[in-house]
Amino acid sequence: MTGHADAAAYKPLSGRSLFITGLGIGQVCSWGSLYYSFPLIAEAMGRDLGWSKPQMYGAATLGLVLAGIASYPIGNAIDRGHGRLVMAAGSVMAGLFLLAWSQVEGLLAFYICVAGIGILQAATLYEPAFAVVARRSGTVGARSGITALTLWGGFASTVFIPLVQFLLDGFGWRGTLMVLAAINLVLCAGVYAAVIDPAADHPEHAHAKGGPSAGWSVVRMVMRQPAFWALAVAFTAYSGTFSAFTFHLYPLLVERGFDTGTVVSAMAIIGPAQVAGRIAIWMFAPKASVRLIGCCVVLAFPLALIVLEAAPPSFAIVACVAALYGGANGIMTIVRGLAVPEMVTREAYGAVNGALAAPATVSRAIAPVGAAALWAWSGSYDPVLFAAIAGALILVAGFWTAAILSARTNPS
């Protein structure tokens, strides 16, 4: 138990605090440089070196599978107060891997670099950042902090997709990777080290001494809940669909006859739409349950993909799909961050969220290379879209099931 003096000295987390601002800037740059940049760089690199789509996306798959394995121990380490070390050191190592990637000539070296970057995504993207926010604000008060953080993260694709395209046009893929390496080494590592302070954690966490087994005991407990497994199915389907769509939207639209400038413009809509969706939730449904929000927003994913498949190749339609998909994804990120404390348990957030993220991360890893293989087999992106629609429907069924089950066992 924490003393009354500690509780009195603690000030609730503000969404406008320096902590969230710094963490948000880091998330924009981490997501933009380590995730959203890959499809554009892969296209340019593949053309230059003569490598196929399955070869290129196989490296991303390997890295994300390893990230899934790493997600639980990383979440557990943050629960034990090591968030600053995890995220700052992760950014430094990611920068070094990006720098090494810029010098590769062979497929083996490429796989090693991208696999390393994939692992480090588990230490630098939303899951560790959400766990750091939960430690600072307390699991009960994490909602405002996580929502504010996702508002920042929503700008990642908007900023970095045009930036990466500009760098590719001016400096080639090797020069682009050097710039992204510098962003991680200097900016991301610097802000994470500066704003993550274990001494400022919420009283419920500040004096936690539990070892690795403490988090595992909570994880074993929640694994007995059917709602946990329904959420795991939903988030696994969501991650696979999101990953395949994100990694292949660029070549999909090029295949349908759009020039690269138009494609980049369409993709740039996703970021502002994500932010708009999150602001809408913050303003109009600040106290609505995660169950209700999630049950409504999951319907947007199959709808957007069905329209993209069925509609003629018009920029206006593509822009509307990007806006709908982006808005839904923005809200879904908040749902994913708050599902653990509101639908499963308020204990050991990092460990439980890491365990829930593990299969989802593997799905996110397999989906891009699976979509690339499906495209190579069929010579068209139509089967890829049909597979994505099926994944979106599984997301709907899984989340609705989790909402019903959790309402019975954890109604608060």
Name the band, by pLDDT with cuts 50, 70 and 90, for residue 203. Answer: low
Task: DSSP for 256-293, please give it.
Answer: TT--HHHHHHHHHTHHHHHHHHHHHHHHH-TTS-HHHH
Tell me the mean pLDDT in the region 287-316: 89
Check if the beta carbon of residue 170 is closer than 8 Å to that of residue 43: no
Write the pLDDT tens digit of every residue in 74-103. 888 888 888 899 999 999 999 999 999 999
* Secondary element (H or E) of residue 332: helix 315-339
Query: Of 333, 278, 325, nearest to 302 (Cα)?
Result: 325
Q: Which 8-state DSSP code applies to residue 206?
A: H
Which is more confidently placed, 52 or 365? 52
Write the pLDDT tens digit of every residue in 169-180. 999 999 999 999
Residue 312 CA, chain-centre distance (Å), reads: 30
- Three-state DSSP at 345 gives coil
**Residue 289 maps to a domain:** yes
Number of domains present in the structure of the chain: 1
**Residue 187 maps to a domain:** yes
Name the band, by pLDDT with cuts 50, 70 and 90, for residue 265. Answer: confident
Tell me the mean pLDDT in the region 350-359: 80
**Residue 276 maps to a domain:** yes
The pLDDT score that the predictor gives to residue 147 is 81
Looking at the predicted structure, is the pLDDT value of residue 207 above 50? no
Place of tokens 């987390």: 13
What is the rounded distance in angstroms from the CA atom of residue 206 to the CA atom of residue 30? 27
**Residue 29 maps to a domain:** yes
Tell me the mean pLDDT in the region 156-178: 92
Tell me the mean pLDDT in the region 106-110: 94
Tell me the mean pLDDT in the region 284-288: 77
**Residue 2 maps to a domain:** no
What is the rounded distance in angstroms from the CA atom of residue 154 to the CA atom of residue 27? 9
**Residue 89 maps to a domain:** yes
The pLDDT score that the predictor gives to residue 23 is 94
**Residue 380 maps to a domain:** yes
What pTM did the predictor assign?
Answer: 0.73
As given in the structure block, the two tokens for residue 132 are 């750091």
As given in the structure block, the two tokens for residue 150 are 């996702």
* Secondary element (H or E) of residue 8: helix 4-9
Provide, for the chain, the percentages of residues in helix, strand and coil under a 3-state DSSP scheme, each rounded to the nearest 5. Answer: 85, 0, 15
**Residue 7 maps to a domain:** no
As given in the structure block, the two tokens for residue 302 are 């199959």
Tell me the mean pLDDT in the region 232-250: 89
Check if the beta carbon of residue 331 is closer than 8 Å to that of residue 281: yes
Q: Domain range spanning residue 273? A: 15-201+210-409
- Count of alpha carbons within 13 angstroms of residue 98, beta-carbon side: 28
Which CATH number is 330's domain given?
Answer: 1.20.1250.20
99-124 residues labelled b (16+ CB within 10 A) or e (exposed)? bbbbebeeeeebbbbbbbbbbbbbbb
